């Protein structure tokens, strides 16, 4: 039985790979988005200090232990090496060798591109392009573009659950907040892993996805290819099936390493400011803001959402307000702004390689 919906007219439209961008975003538009993003970040980082006495903030900064700040920068570097390991482990399943350092550079550049061009979809497309240029097949590049972010979401979900459980056991959360965070977790799980229902109900799930994308394309007055949707769904199902029998452990380890070293960066910034955060408070103060940022995906990189939520949450959990704000701003400067500009600088270098067509890829 044919379960596809009618194909919209695609006359004159060139076929493209799953994640390839037919018309790259113009540099003018990219810089416009980047400028808006920077202004939004500056606005948040200027508003947060106004929530406290500026003299107290300056005192905290003056007394910071800067060699510990250097360790925080190192921890963030290790976080991206963890993401690079995740990419390498996934590509190893398809017999393609990618160094951890190259994987780290690809992830950093892809995140930066995603901020100014399409969010997580733009990031996945950039990862696909960079991995394909490294010599991987298009199917392997598609897997590398999508699966790591899903594994990272699993780590964020676990950290959030631990943080929320800590708040519940210590009576620091209301029933209303517990319900709200529970709904956030449910939404993220469905949004990230809902399509895996296709493993159990392949026909029904594909029919639903096809219907949604077909109507979305019609609303945007864009051409739609149901065969491409079926190909993408099959590629993802094949990817998940390839993670069976223990082969999922290494990619998942890399994803968790990324989150845990990112948390370590935050912990070290607090330590540099002269405050040792309780481990349970750290899990809650890190996991919940990133969980909320995943829901508010309209803001690239969670700009504004993470800073405001994180500072308010740490302050409500007993951390002095001036230390919370200084530490959160310092953490975001390292983990977000520094890596964003490094990633943008790496993009031209990674783009210099020529993408390999399937017939050019050497047989293993």
Domain regions of the chain by residue span: 27-357
- Mean pLDDT is highest, among 127-141, 215-229, 253-267, for 253-267
**196 is written with which tokens?**
């895996």
Q: Tell the burial category of 148 from Cβ atoms under 10 Å away from its Cβ (0-12, 13-18, 19+).
A: buried
Least confident of 7-11, 87-91, 261-265: 7-11
**C-alpha to C-alpha distances, 145 to 99, 152, 163, 182, 184, nearest whole angstrom:** 16, 12, 29, 28, 24
Residue 247, pLDDT above cutoff 90? no
Distance separating alpha carbons of residues 187 and 191, to the nearest angstrom: 6
At 154, which helix (H) or strand (E)? helix 138-169
| Mean pLDDT computed over 97-112 | 92
| Mean pLDDT computed over 216-234 | 76
For 7, residues 6+ apart whose C-beta sits below 8 A from its C-beta are 224, 225, 226, 227
Model confidence at 180, pLDDT cuts 50, 70, 90, reads: confident
Model confidence pLDDT, tens digit, residues 50-61? 455 567 767 878
Mean pLDDT of the chain: 78
**314 is written with which tokens?**
């740490």
Residue 362, pLDDT above cutoff 60? no
Residue 94: the pLDDT is 79
Residue 285, pLDDT above cutoff 90? yes
Distance separating alpha carbons of residues 284 and 315, to the nearest angstrom: 12
Residue 109: the pLDDT is 92
Where do the H-state alpha helices sit in 194-278? 202-219, 226-242, 249-272
Residue 163: the pLDDT is 95
More confident residue, 94 or 267: 267
Instruction: Count CA within 13 A, CB hemisphere, residue 285.
Output: 29
- Mean pLDDT is highest, among 74-78, 143-147, 169-173, 313-317, for 74-78
Q: How far is CA 7 from the centre of its chain?
A: 32
User: What's the longest Cα–Cα distance across the chain?
Assistant: 71
Model confidence pLDDT, tens digit, residues 59-96? 878 889 999 999 999 999 999 999 999 999 989 887 88
Per cent of the chain over pLDDT 90 is 33
Instruction: Count CA within 13 A, CB hemisphere, residue 290.
Output: 26
Residue 212, pLDDT above cutoff 50? yes
233 contacts 199 by C-beta, under 8 angstroms: no
Residue 106, pLDDT above cutoff 60? yes
Residue 18: the pLDDT is 43
For 205, residues 6+ apart whose C-beta sits below 8 A from its C-beta are 195, 197, 198, 233
Give the DSSP letter of residue 337: I
Report which of 173, 313, 256, 218 is spatially closest to residue 9, judged by C-alpha positions: 218
Helix (H/G/I), strand (E/B), else coil: 310: helix
Model confidence pLDDT, tens digit, residues 292-346? 888 766 555 566 778 888 988 998 899 998 899 899 989 999 999 899 889 989 9
Model confidence at 118, pLDDT cuts 50, 70, 90, reads: low
Report which of 237, 264, 236 is spatially closest to residue 82, judged by C-alpha positions: 264
Model confidence pLDDT, tens digit, residues 153-162? 999 999 999 9
| Mean pLDDT computed over 138-161 | 88
Residue 202, pLDDT above cutoff 90? no
Model confidence pLDDT, tens digit, residues 14-45? 443 444 443 444 444 454 444 444 444 444 44
pTM: 0.78
């Amino acid at each position: 039985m044919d379960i596809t919906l009618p194909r919209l007219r695609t006359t004159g439209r060139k076929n493209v790979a799953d994640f390839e961008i037919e018309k790259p975003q113009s540099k003018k538009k990219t810089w416009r988005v980047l400028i808006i993003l920077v202004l939004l970040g500056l606005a948040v980082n200027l508003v947060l200090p106004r929530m406290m006495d500026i003299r107290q903030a300056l005192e905290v900064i003056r007394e910071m232990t800067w060699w510990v700040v250097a360790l925080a920068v190192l921890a963030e570097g290790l976080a991206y090496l963890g993401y690079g390991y995740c990419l390498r482990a996934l590509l190893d399943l398809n017999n393609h060798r990618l160094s951890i350092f190259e994987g780290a550079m690809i992830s950093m550049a892809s995140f930066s591109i995603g901020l100014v061009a399409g969010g997580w979809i733009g990031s996945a497309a950039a990862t696909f392009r960079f991995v394909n240029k490294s010599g991987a097949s298009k199917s392997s590049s598609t897997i590398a573009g999508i699966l790591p972010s899903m594994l990272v979401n699993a780590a964020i979900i676990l950290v959030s659950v631990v943080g929320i459980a800590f708040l519940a056991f210590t009576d620091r959360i209301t029933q209303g907040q517990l319900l709200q965070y529970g709904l956030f977790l449910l939404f993220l799980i469905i949004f990230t892993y809902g399509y895996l229902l296709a493993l159990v109900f392949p026909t029904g799930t594909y029919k639903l996805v096809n219907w949604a994308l077909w109507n979305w394309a019609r609303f945007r007055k864009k051409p739609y290819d149901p065969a491409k949707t079926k190909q993408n769904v099959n590629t993802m199902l094949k990817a998940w099936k390839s993670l069976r029998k223990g082969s999922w452990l290494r990619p998942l380890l890399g994803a968790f390493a990324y989150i845990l070293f990112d948390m370590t960066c935050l912990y070290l910034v607090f330590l540099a400011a002269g405050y040792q955060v309780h481990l349970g408070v750290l899990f809650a103060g890190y996991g919940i803001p990133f969980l909320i940022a995943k829901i508010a995906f309209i803001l690239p990189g969670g700009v504004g959402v993470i800073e405001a939520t994180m500072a308010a949450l740490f302050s409500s959990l007993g951390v002095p307000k001036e230390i919370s704000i200084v530490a959160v701003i310092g953490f975001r400067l390292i983990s977000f702004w520094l890596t964003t500009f490094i990633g943008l600088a790496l993009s031209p270098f990674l783009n210099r390689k020529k993408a390999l067509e399937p017939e050019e890829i050497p047989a293993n």
